[in-house]
Amino acid sequence: MQIETSRLIIREFIKEDWIDVHKYASDPKVTEYMLWGPNNEEETKSYVSQQLDKQQSINRTDFEIAVVLKETNQLIGGCGIYLAEKNAEMGYCFNSEYWGKGYASEASRALLKLAFETFNIHRVYATCRPENIGSAKVLRKVGMKMEGHLREHIWAKSKYHDSYLFSILESEYLGEELHGF
């Protein structure tokens, strides 16, 4: 699988990507609002290996893919879409050096296009920690609506976490000019 946008190539991970993935997966600033990390080298290598294994799945439902700058071929983050019936969850994580440049929004739009136009999904949702203002901004920017505040619904890093829940329906996506690049 490979998707191209105006500035990005969104492609399958390869084994050698673990080095660039580790640059952001080991960064406490990047992983502050994630339910994982910061990673050590073995955890990052294991993650990339798991993604390589998933690529071989015949009835694949989890697509975690690399986000690469078209201009420089630099891996700057990852994004993913996880299919379940007519619903899908999406997410993303980027090297902090590339925050605030619109790359998360651009990759998210590509994931929405994939979900609705290729996989015929009815509803795509995403969560973020309430403190993660940047991520909530991205989700709103790509047309998602906040559905609610999930209170202490998930256990990670030795404590319960809240999440904001966002979603977009196929009819909303098709009615928006959000899917153009």
pLDDT tens across 56-95, in order?
999 999 999 999 999 999 999 999 999 999 999 999 999 9
Cα distance between residue 165 and residue 36, in whole Å: 19
Q: Tell me the average pLDDT across 43-68.
A: 96
Cα distance between residue 57 and residue 1, in whole Å: 13
Cα distance between residue 5 and residue 1, in whole Å: 14
pLDDT tens across 131-158, in order?
999 999 999 999 999 999 999 999 999 9
Cα separation of the two ends of the chain:
18
pLDDT of 50: 96
Reported confidence tier of residue 177, pLDDT bands at 50, 70, 90: low
Reported confidence tier of residue 181, pLDDT bands at 50, 70, 90: very low
Give percent of the chain above pLDDT 70: 97
Stated pTM of the model: 0.92
Contacts of 4 (CB under 8 A, 6+ apart): 10, 70
Options 3.40.50.10480, 3.30.420.40, 3.40.630.30, 3.20.20.70; CATH of 2-175: 3.40.630.30
Boundaries of every domain in the chain = 2-175
Query: What rounded mean pLDDT belongs to the chain?
Result: 95
pLDDT of 19: 97
Q: Do 97 and 131 contact (CB within 8 A), yes or no?
A: no
Q: Which amino acid is at 135?
A: S
